[in-house]
Amino acid sequence: MYENSHAWRRKLRIQLMVDIAKKELDSGKKFEEICPKLEQEMLTRWKLVSGTRKQYLDTIRKVLDNQFVLTY
């Protein structure tokens, strides 16, 4: 299946954020507590706008809740 570069980059970004979120969740924090940290990471690393950051957070939550699976 053909995949464009934008979708591939999006998956990599989300996977990186999921890894950060898992580390924070393993330390005993709740998802709501780590959302500001994730948003700050997205803002500084990729300069994502507010709407995109909210979409990414929603996707990250779904991946962590096993409602959504990232495939490569």
| Closest among 3, 2, 5, 6 to 52, alpha carbons compared | 6
- CB-CB contact of 31 with 64 (8 Å): yes
Instruction: Report how far Cα 12 is from the mean position of its chain's Cα atoms.
Output: 9
pLDDT, one tens digit per residue, over 9-63 is 999 999 999 999 999 999 999 999 999 999 999 999 999 999 999 999 999 999 9
**pLDDT exceeds cutoff 90 at 70:** no
What's this model's pTM, rounded to 2 decimal places? Answer: 0.87
Q: CA-to-CA distance for 4 and 7, rounded, in angstroms? A: 6
Q: CA-to-CA distance for 1 and 11, rounded, in angstroms? A: 15
- Say what the pLDDT of residue 1 is: 52
